[in-house]
């Protein structure tokens, strides 16, 4: 088996290969699911190349991805594999709902263990945060699940874009292996010229497309253009102040097409040139994982920040001189 560098997640000693295999695309969301035997073959191929960290979730399929991964693990040495799965997303008649109640978490873990056909899960993390349930309740129950169902000291983590919840989770539970989505802790290189001057994702405060304008209307008194994202955090459009004409409508009904994007490979000159073209008020900075592009017929790029003409001007001009 080839050797791949390993890294620790958090401070509890949990170690994974620096390169892992996300198995979602084998069963859901990106085109036709692959044949089961092909998916198993791919997982085995990854393991033979040195990858030991495999990621799945109950919502992928739903459920079928966990079954596939479980079958693939049957012929692999379990003690050499780090298996991650998730809870928190529930599909009801094709619509995803977020759940975090104690009863749900207990059943979700039991069901995942059965589908995966394993005795324990190495990393069990919360896919989305249920804002109707106190995070303390969800975390306390998750700890009980890990102690009683899994029987070994394993790892509970938080995946959702909810930074304050992460801080509270660590404070009340001691868990520190947070496998955060890149939209909270962006893997951004500030040595890269474009990323160094961009407005980071969090600072830009992008708005969910499903929000009603009346809930965020004050944003448009301060800003001419605001990025709009889907539930995964990808920028899917921009809402401009001049288009805000119906207070009770969702932002998705007012947004325009996504702005152009730049990557680490884009020169600063080209990035600024985009903004100097009159039709663009904003560009999206994408961290493109080009080594994965084409593996399943889709791009793995992710939004890590934004550049606006106003933001660029503020870098070279005192705030008092900016025309608001």
Secondary element (H or E) of residue 167: helix 163-173
Longest dimension (CA), the chain: 66
Residue with tokens 């102040």: 241
- Sequence-separated (6 or more) residues with CB below 8 Å from residue 73: 43, 54, 81, 83, 116, 117, 118
60 is catalytic: yes
Residue at token pair 């994202």 = 229
List of residues 6+ apart from 215 with CB closer than 8 A: none
Cα dihedral sign, 85-91-95-99: negative
Sign for the CA dihedral angle at 261, 297, 28, 141 comes to: negative
Is the Cβ–Cβ distance between 153 and 173 less than 8 Å? no
Q: Which of 30, 60, 183, 292 is catalytic?
A: 60
Annotated catalytic residues are: 60
């Amino acid at each position: 088996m080839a050797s791949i560098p390993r890294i620790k997640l958090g401070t509890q000693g949990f170690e994974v290969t620096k390169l892992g295999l996300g198995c979602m695309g084998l069963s859901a969301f990106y085109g036709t699911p692959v044949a089961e035997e092909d998916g198993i073959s791919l997982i085995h191929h990854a393991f033979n190349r040195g990858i030991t960290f495999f990621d799945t979730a109950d919502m992928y399929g739903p459920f079928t991805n966990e079954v596939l991964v479980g079958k693939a693990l049957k012929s692999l040495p379990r003690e050499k594999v780090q298996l991650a799965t998730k809870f928190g997303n529930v599909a009801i008649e094709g619509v995803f709902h977020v759940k975090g109640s104690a009863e749900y978490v207990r059943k979700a873990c039991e069901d995942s263990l059965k589908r995966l056909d394993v005795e324990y899960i190495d990393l069990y993390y919360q896919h989305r945060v249920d804002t109707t349930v106190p995070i303390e309740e969800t975390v306390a129950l998750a700890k009980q699940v890990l102690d009683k169902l899994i029987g070994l000291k394993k790892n509970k983590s938080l995946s959702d874009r909810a930074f304050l919840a992460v801080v509270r989770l660590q404070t009340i539970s001691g868990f520190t292996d947070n496998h955060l989505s890149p939209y909270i802790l962006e893997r951004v290189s500030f040595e890269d010229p474009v990323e160094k001057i961009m407005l980071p994702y969090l600072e830009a405060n992008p708005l969910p497309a499903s929000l009603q304008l009346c809930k965020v209307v004050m944003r448009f008194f301060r800003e001419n253009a605001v990025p709009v994202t889907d539930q995964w955090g990808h920028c899917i459009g921009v809402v401009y102040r001049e288009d805000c004409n119906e207070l009770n409508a969702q932002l998705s009904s007012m947004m325009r097409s996504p702005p152009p994007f730049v990557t680490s490979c884009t020169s600063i000159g080209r990035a600024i040139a985009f903004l100097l073209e009159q039709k663009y008020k904003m560009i999206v900075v994408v961290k493109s994982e080009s080594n994965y592009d084409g593996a399943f017929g889709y791009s793995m790029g992710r939004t890590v920040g934004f550049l606006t003409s106003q933001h660029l001007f503020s870098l070279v001009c005192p705030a008092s001189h900016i025309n608001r």
